[in-house]
Amino acid sequence: MQTLTDRFGRHHNYLRISVTDRCNLRCLYCMPEEGVEFTEASNLMSYDEIVEVVKSGALLGIKKLRITGGEPLIRPDLDKLIARLSAISGIEDIALTTNGVFLAKQAKALKAAGLNRVNISLDTLDPARFKFIARRGDLKRVMEGIEAAAEVGFHPIKLNCVLLKNVNEDEIAQFLKLAYEQPLHVRFIEYMPIGHDDDNWKNHYLPLSRVLEIAHEQKYQVRRREDVHGNGPSEDWEMKGGIGSFGLIHPISDHFCKNCNRLRLTADGNIKPCLYWVDELNVRHALGDPIAMRDIFYKAMDIKPENHEMAAKLLNGAQTHVPTDRRMSQIGG
Ligand code: SAM
Ligand code: SF4
């Protein structure tokens, strides 16, 4: 078996696939409220094309996939894509990241198609605040999505919570309580400056050390789980006596690049070796040519940088390279 190993010795077995850059929400840390331009439907990677890229990747050691977006559940027949991906030899695990709004309707079909795991984004437990953060949609639908995911047997269910200073910081204790009382894994995520206006980011960025402070204030006995390394950047914690657990993803206060095992495929057909930097490799010209497709994966290994420099932005420091101008919704997180 050939492997995807970069210049820094990191092995890559994980591909995140964005199936659309469109979304039914407009989360304030991800997209502007108005005026977003989307990829034409005709320029999105078709399911046939995505399957072809994944088959090439699987021959090089890609084993884990995550389907993301934009909002992946607005792409029609997503279960059919998942069924095709799960049939590819070498693919062992397929996960989905979704805002949850359309999940209740689709959970059963997705599970039947071979989806193994779901992450559902949930930044607040307060309906009015949900309207403020997501600007559209309804928290109730997300909660129904979480329930449906549990009912059809997804386990573990992970909740992605982007923490924002002065917005949802005061809900950390409630999220910890949720993780203590329910079989859920709450993943707190630092707000990242990706394709984003800097002032908003600087005003709302919150280092995740705050979560551990609150956990101690609330008298939870927390312990870092050294045994869970799974997909890389999440640092996992358990709470003594608790049913669920929580994780910290802190790319800014403590960057996770040394264990990076991931590549990304954008909805318009570009492999991104790193979430942060501008570099991309278009796969379209390699469609139908397995050798050319393999070489794109190898090229991604050659140009993958050692790390991102998100923290330099916070400190107004100089950067060594050019950050992407894509928004998170155009990359997939
Ligand atoms: N629409 C889906 C969702 O929201 O789960 C999938 C796509 S979304 C881009 C993937 C993840 O990225 C979500 O958990 C979202 O909260 C997170 N995200 C988006 N913008 C972010 C930012 N600027 N910093 C940190 N996380 C971000
Ligand atoms: Fe949409 Fe997800 Fe971005 Fe929110 S985070 S706007 S749900 S893509």
- When the pLDDT of each residue in the chain is averaged and rounded to a whole number, the result is 94
Report pLDDT for 111.
98
Is the pLDDT at 228 greater than 70? The verdict is no
Look at the block and give the residue holding tokens 């939870």. Answer: 220
Is the pLDDT at 310 greater than 90? The verdict is no
Helix (H) or strand (E) holding 212: helix 209-217
**What residue owns the CA closest to ligand 1's atom 11?**
333
Q: How far is ligand 1, taken at its centre, from the CA of residue 327, in Å?
A: 10
Percent of the chain clearing pLDDT 70 (strictly above): 96
Domain extent, residue 114, equals 4-331
Ligand 1, residue 192: give the atom nearest the CA: 24
Which residues pair with residue 120 across a beta bridge? 98, 159
Which protein residues touch ligand 1 with a CB less than 6 Å away? 23, 29-30, 68-69, 71, 97-99, 121, 160, 162, 189, 191-192, 194, 196, 328-329, 332-333
**What residue owns the CA closest to ligand 1's atom 2?**
98
CATH number at residue 161: 3.20.20.70
Report pLDDT for 227.
66
Q: Among 172-186, 203-217, 246-260, 282-296, which stretch is predicted with the lowest mean pLDDT?
A: 246-260
Model confidence band, residue 99 (pLDDT cutoffs 50, 70, 90):
very high
How many domains are contained in the chain?
1
Is the pLDDT at 231 greater than 90? The verdict is no
Report pLDDT for 253.
83
Q: How far is ligand 2, taken at its centre, from the CA of residue 148, in Å?
A: 20
Q: How far is ligand 1, taken at its centre, from the CA of residue 187, in Å?
A: 12
Q: How far is ligand 1, taken at its centre, from the CA of residue 186, in Å?
A: 14
Residue in 59, 56, 54, 68 with CA at minimum distance from that of residue 23: 68
Mutating to test ligand 1, I would choose from 25, 78, 162 the residue with most ligand atoms within 8 A of its C-beta, which is 162
Average pLDDT over residues 186-201: 87
Average pLDDT over residues 5-27: 97
Q: How far is ligand 2, taken at its centre, from the CA of residue 294, in Å?
A: 31
| SS3 readout for 24-85 | CCCCCCCCCCCCCCCCCHHHCCCHHHHHHHHHHHHHCCCCEEEEECCCHHHCCCHHHHHHHH
Report pLDDT for 198.
75
**What residue owns the CA closest to ligand 1's atom 18?**
333
Look at the block and give the residue holding tokens 């060594």. Answer: 320
Dist. CA 279–CA 277, nearest whole Å: 6
Three-state secondary-structure class, residue 251: coil
Model confidence band, residue 196 (pLDDT cutoffs 50, 70, 90):
low
Q: How far is ligand 1, taken at its centre, from the CA of residue 22, in Å?
A: 13
Report pLDDT for 236.
94
Model confidence band, residue 176 (pLDDT cutoffs 50, 70, 90):
very high
